[in-house]
């Protein structure tokens, strides 16, 4: 049971569906309940739990895709900043959070993430997340 694999395989459909599929990685909005509008996830198509185990091809695509994801997100939601981070503790499948920091979210990154992830102060509707996913998808084409 792996949420990452479930999204890759279509068992779990995030709001707006898969935004972009590269050769080795996909981009999607975070699953419902969406913690924040525009909270994107970049994850490999194959189940892999350690960055050290990526192939050089996977690693190369990752760099480009993180940059493209941040650019696409910025064009759509115009955040003050875009955070990119990866923990992989509760969902061990490698995944990067690409998180827009909006005005009003604390500029102390950890405080801001606490509001978003723990306090869930910035949750948005699935419809809103799906609309943003669609707009981000357009940026990729």
List residues binding Zn ion (CB under 5 A).
2, 4-5, 47, 93
> Shortest gap between Cβ of 65 and Zn ion (angstroms)?
17
> Shortest gap between Cβ of 92 and Zn ion (angstroms)?
7
Q: Closer to Zn ion by CB, 18 or 123: give it.
A: 18
CA-to-CA distance for 126 and 141, rounded, in angstroms?
A: 23
Q: Closer to Zn ion by CB, 43 or 69: give it.
A: 43
CA geometry: angle at 69 spanning 63 and 70, to 5°? 95
> Shortest gap between Cβ of 4 and Zn ion (angstroms)?
4
Taken in order 53, 28, 99, 121, is the CA torsion positive or negative?
Answer: negative
Q: Closer to Zn ion by CB, 55 or 125: give it.
A: 55
- The beta strand positions in 1-130, using DSSP E, are 18-21, 25-29, 40-44, 81-85, 96-101
> Shortest gap between Cβ of 7 and Zn ion (angstroms)?
9
Q: Closer to Zn ion by CB, 21 or 75: give it.
A: 21
CA-to-CA distance for 10 and 27, rounded, in angstroms?
A: 13
């Amino acid at each position: 049971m792996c949420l990452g694999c479930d999204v890759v395989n279509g068992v779990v459909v995030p709001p707006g569906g898969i935004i972009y599929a590269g050769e080795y990685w996909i981009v999607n909005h975070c699953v419902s309940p969406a913690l924040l509008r525009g909270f994107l996830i970049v994850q490999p198509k194959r189940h892999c739990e350690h960055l050290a185990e990526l192939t050089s091809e996977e690693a190369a695509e990752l760099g480009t895709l993180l940059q493209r994801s941040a650019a696409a997100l910025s064009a759509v939601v115009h955040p003050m900043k875009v955070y990119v981070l990866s923990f992989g503790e509760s969902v061990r499948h490698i995944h990067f959070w690409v998180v827009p920091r909006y005005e009003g979210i604390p500029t102390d990154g950890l405080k801001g993430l606490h509001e978003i992830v723990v306090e869930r102060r910035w949750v948005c509707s699935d419809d809103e997340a799906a609309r943003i996913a669609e707009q981000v998808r357009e940026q990729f084409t």
